[in-house]
Amino acid sequence: MLRAPVRAFLDEALRGMAPEQRARSWVSFDAEFSKELGRRGWIGLTLPKKYGGGGRSLFARFVLAEELLRAGAPAGAHWIADRQSAPHILKFGTPAQAEFYLPRICRAEAFFCIGMSEPGSGSDLASVRTRAAHTSRGWQLDGQKIWTTNAHRSHYMIALVRTSGDARSRQKGLSQIIIDLSLPGIRIRPIADMTGDSHLCEVFFDNVQLSEDALIGAESDGWRQVTSELAHERSGPERIYSSVVLFDEWLKYLRTKGNPSERSLSLAGRILSTMTVLRSLSLAVNGCLAEGQSPVVEAALAKDMGTTLEQLIPEIVADALGDDPSAVLPESLVNTLRYISQVSPSFSLRGGTREVLRGMIARGLGLR
C-alpha cells in the first residue's frame, strides 16, 4: 500500500532527470525535494506520531527507501537524519532532545551528518582525538573530523568525541555529542572527489562552546552507542542499490536495441539473482533491528556482500558493452557508467571498509 503512492509520486517528480544525476541518489542533496517528502509524511516513518513521525514499522521504511533508491531520488539532504540520527536520538537521547530534534527532522528542517572519522582515525575509531572537555557551562570542543558527508549543508553533526582519557584509553572515555554546526569556532571545508562532486568535508572545531545538553546518551558510553548506530548505517538497502540506476539504464539499452546476446542475458540474470538474495539478507537484518536487537555482525555481512555487488555492476556493464565496440551507445548510459565507475571504489570504504568488516565477521564467527 505504501509502495504504489511513493512510486507514483517519484515517477512524476523525477521525470526528465538525467540518469547520471539519479545515480547520485542518496548522496545528492536537494532540500526542497526532502521538504516535499516531509510534507507527505515520508520522513521519520518509524518515529512515534507524537514527534511528527509515521509510527510505522522498519519494514515500511525499507519499502520507502527501496523506492527512493530504485528511482534515484535526490534524497541525501534528509537521508542520514532519517536513517540513523533520529532513531539514535529516540533511543539514547532525553525526552527534551527528542522533542527538540525529531519533529524538525520529520519536516526536513534539520539535516544531520556523521562525525566519526578523523585524520588518522577512520577504521580505528577508538583512537579519535577530538575532545569535548566538561566545563561549568557545558562542553568545550576542539579537534577535527574528516570525510563528513554533506557537513557544509547540514544543521547538526552527531560526533564521537573523547570526553576523558587519551587516544591510548581506546574505547573508554568516548562519548557522543550533538553539535550545532552554525556555532562560532566551526570551520567546514568541502573536499572535491574524483567525480568533481564536493559532498565530503573537513570540519574543524576551535574552542567551540556547547551547552550541557549537547551530550547524547551517557558520558563514556559512546563506543556502545556508536556500534549500535553503525548497525543502522550498514544494513539498509542503500548498500545494495548504489549502482541500480546503471543496471536499469543498461537493461533499457538492451531492450531498445533488441536481440540481446546470450552473454548479456546471462550477466543481467547474474546481477538480478544476486540482488534478490542480498535483498533477503538486508530484510533479515532489518527484522533483527525491528526486534530491538543490535545485529552488528549481520549488518557488516550485509554491507560487505552488498557493496561487492554494487562494485561488480559497473564492471559487468562495461565488459558487456565492450563486446560490441562498434555499437552507438546512448550518452546517458555512457555518462552513468562513467559516474558509477568513478565512484564505486568508495562503496566499500564509506560506512566501514571491506577489510575491517571482514575482520568483524571473522570475530563474530569465532575465528579470531
CB of 171 to ligand FAD, least distance (A): 15
60 close to 45: Cβ distance less than 8 angstroms: yes
Task: Report the site for ligand FAD in 88-127 (rule: CB under 6 A).
Answer: 113-117, 122-123
Q: Cell 566551526 sits at which residue?
A: 186
Report the candidate in 48, 203, 25, 30 with the shortest Cα–Cα distance to residue 108.
Answer: 30
Report the candidate in 5, 9, 3 with the shortest Cα–Cα distance to residue 33.
Answer: 9
Task: Report the site for ligand FAD in 310-349 (rule: CB under 6 A).
Answer: 346, 349
Nearer to ligand FAD, 205 or 250 (CB): 205
Q: Cell 516535499 sits at which residue?
A: 36
How far, in Å, CA of 326 to CA of 323, rounded? 9
139 close to 185: Cβ distance less than 8 angstroms: no
28 touches ligand FAD by CB under 6 A: no
Report the candidate in 181, 289, 164 with the shortest Cα–Cα distance to residue 237.
Answer: 289
350 touches ligand FAD by CB under 6 A: yes
105 close to 86: Cβ distance less than 8 angstroms: yes
String of contacts with ligand FAD for each residue 149-188, x by CB under 6 A? x---------------------------------------
Whole-angstrom CA distances from 364 to 117, 124, 217, 306, 357 are 23, 18, 26, 18, 10
226 touches ligand FAD by CB under 6 A: no
How far, in Å, CA of 164 to CA of 146, rounded? 21
Nearer to ligand FAD, 234 or 250 (CB): 234
Among 355, 362, 363, 365, binds ligand FAD (CB under 6 A): 355
Give the pairing type, strands 186-191 and 215-216. unpaired
Report the candidate in 244, 124, 240, 99 with the shortest Cα–Cα distance to residue 174.
Answer: 124
Which part of the chain contacts ligand FAD (CB under 6 A), choosing from 44-52, 142-150, 169-177, 207-215?
A: 142-150
CB of 193 to ligand FAD, least distance (A): 7
147 touches ligand FAD by CB under 6 A: yes
41 touches ligand FAD by CB under 6 A: no
String of contacts with ligand FAD for each residue 283-302, x by CB under 6 A? --------------------
Binding interface with ligand FAD (CB under 6 A): 113-117, 122-123, 147-149, 200, 346, 349-350, 352-353, 355-356, 359
